[in-house]
Structure 1
Amino acid sequence: MDLQTQGKMEMTVAMALSGTIGIFAYFSGLSEFAIVLWRCIMGSTVLLLVCWRRGYLSSHSLSRRSIILALFGGAALLANWLFLFAAYRRASISISGLVYNLQPFILASLSAWILHERIRRDHIVWACVGLAGLAIVAFAGLDEGVDNEFLIGLGCAVCAAFFYALAALSAKLLRGMPPHLVALIQFAAGSIVLLPLIGSSLPPGNLASITSIATLGIVHTGFMYILLYGAFQKLNPGTAAALAFINPVVTILSEALILHRSFTTLQYFGGGIILLAVLGTTAFRRQDE
């Protein structure tokens, strides 16, 4: 299997998992700070075992530049999570998740500006198609009256998208470093920063809360970020941007099916356009040059 195909598979699974994060956060019953803390603790624990098993903890794998870049990405990732979970609380999970998916465009722009990576014209066209679908889904179901809390939620989602792009850019700059190790350093740093909040971050004693936070920490953090950072290191920014649209589609479906929140026909139409953008960039695209 070539690296491009492997990267697409990793990105597809990671984005599908990412689309269910809001549901598990909802059932955890915890604040955004508590969710981020437990994701960092459990994710770093899983990755520590994986890195130790694979021999990634040896000193020759770590340079000063790599550690600094990983810590920078960790700070961006921490801000990304805090803003995203704050957005979930203030706007619906689906609307927040959809606005959050501005991040592929931010990442592609940063990659072109800083890394001088070329973005193919067909990728730009399909990304614009996906953005049109994103706009339809996000705003088709809104009532005329919008309260301040909702607008704050949208602002938090945009901030989350920006910090996600910064974290992803740091991962791209660490191509020679195993993605497992990159994520481990980032999550461990986040754990240390948020550890003073541990006393007020204990989950409720019910099974749904404990299961939700464990899934967020182990699956959505430890496992998902191995796939995500591995994909970033293999894919060009245009392909990664298009595949990221899988996230909002899964978000909409999971909220509709599990939380039984209905959406308009126009919103489902927008979701179809997003899927078309993904297919246009992958199944029907020309051979990579």
Structure 2
Amino acid sequence: MVAGGLVLGTIGIFVEEARQDPMTTVFFRCFFGMLALSLWGAATGRLHELKLRWQELTVALGAGVLIVLNWVLFFAAIPRVSIAIATVLFHIQPFFVIGLGAWWLGERVSKAQVIACVVALAGLVLATGLIGSKTSLIATSSYQTGVALCLVGAVAYAGLPFIARKAKRVSSFALSWWQSAVGVLLTAWWPLWHGLPQTTTAWLWLAGLGSIHSGIAYVVLYAGMSQLRTSRVALLQFVYPLTAIVVDRVVYGHQLTALQTVGVLIMAGALWTVRRDSKRVCKMPPGAQASTSA
């Protein structure tokens, strides 16, 4: 799951360089992701895994709807509330994951896990530069809409670990493929109506976004989600924003302030603690094992 978060942390580069609107970006992310997964499945003889029973298919389709909703809402919220605020609001979702895990699955949540989650979120707030910013936030209708979009997106993403647990008989490869297929069906109308990308560069970045971030990353991510307790999943999901902040600094030269550096270190410390305490052996579904090793 850490590997998936590290890969997802580079999404910003591909989205930034592709220079497309959110819906077009989501469509091509799903399209190229499905294409890459299909080719990989054919090469490894795993296409038969895409044939699911009805109950398993509904779980896979549900995961697809949630992740596409999450992507569209997050991209739509950014211009309304800024990247920093959208990132902070979006990553409230670990609290939803822990709460739902305790309420729905009856999982025990220790004080240490709650504290680690709060510490990681505090580190994220510092790392985004929200604290100490001179920008005044006006509670306009656009801003309020952006906040609502982030919160709904956070709830949608929080549902993914539970779906992954329900789909233990579905390989992470199949779950990722069906997720991409749902995304293609839900968003295909947008680029057909508004037009396709006009430059070769845009097509290349979108192809990379789909094949890497909707292909490889989600196969690995779902394999991890299916074998971990939801409280641990909630904490490890901070790997994504932590990586994104570091990548933004390295690739685009955005200098971190002292507070941002402290935030990154706090997040890294919380995540390291979780990794250190996660040495227990978990029994994985055969499909998930194959996907992780691929």
TM-score under structure 1 length normalisation = 0.85
Q: Structure 1 residue aligned with 2:197, among 179, 195, 203?
A: 203
CA distance in 2, matches of 1:169, 1:217: 24
CA distance in 2, matches of 1:250, 1:43: 21
Counterpart in the other structure of 2:123: 133
Is 2:63–2:179's contact at 8 Å kept on the other side of the alignment? yes
- Residue aligned with 1:119, SS: coil
Is 2:93–2:158's contact at 8 Å kept on the other side of the alignment? yes
Q: Counterparts in 2 of 1:1-289, with a 5 A limit?
A: 11-58=1-48, 62-138=52-128, 139-143=130-134, 145-147=136-138, 148=140, 149=142, 152-199=145-192, 200-207=194-201, 209-283=202-276, 285=277, 288=280
Residue deviations 1:141-198 (CA, integer Å, cap 9, x gap)? 4325114455544443332221111233212210111011011112112212222223
CA distance in 1, matches of 2:30, 2:177: 9
Is 1:97–1:251's contact at 8 Å kept on the other side of the alignment? no
Is 2:4–2:217's contact at 8 Å kept on the other side of the alignment? yes
CA distance in 2, matches of 1:78, 1:183: 12
Residue deviations 1:215-249 (CA, integer Å, cap 9, x gap)? 11110111111011011011122322222222222
Q: CA deviation at 1:102?
A: 2.0
Residue deviations 1:12-61 (CA, integer Å, cap 9, x gap)? 11111212212321211111100110011111112223334455443895
Is 1:73–1:186's contact at 8 Å kept on the other side of the alignment? yes
Counterpart in the other structure of 1:3: none
CA distance in 2, matches of 1:60, 1:191: 16
| Structure 1 gap ranges (5+) | 1-10
Is 2:77–2:146's contact at 8 Å kept on the other side of the alignment? yes
Of the structure 1 ranges 188-197 and 262-271, higher mean CA displacement relative to structure 2 is found in 262-271
Count of residues paired in the alignment: 277
Counterpart amino acid of residue 64 in structure 2: G
Is 1:122–1:281's contact at 8 Å kept on the other side of the alignment? no
| Structure 2 gap ranges (5+) | 282-294
Q: CA deviation at 1:109?
A: 2.1
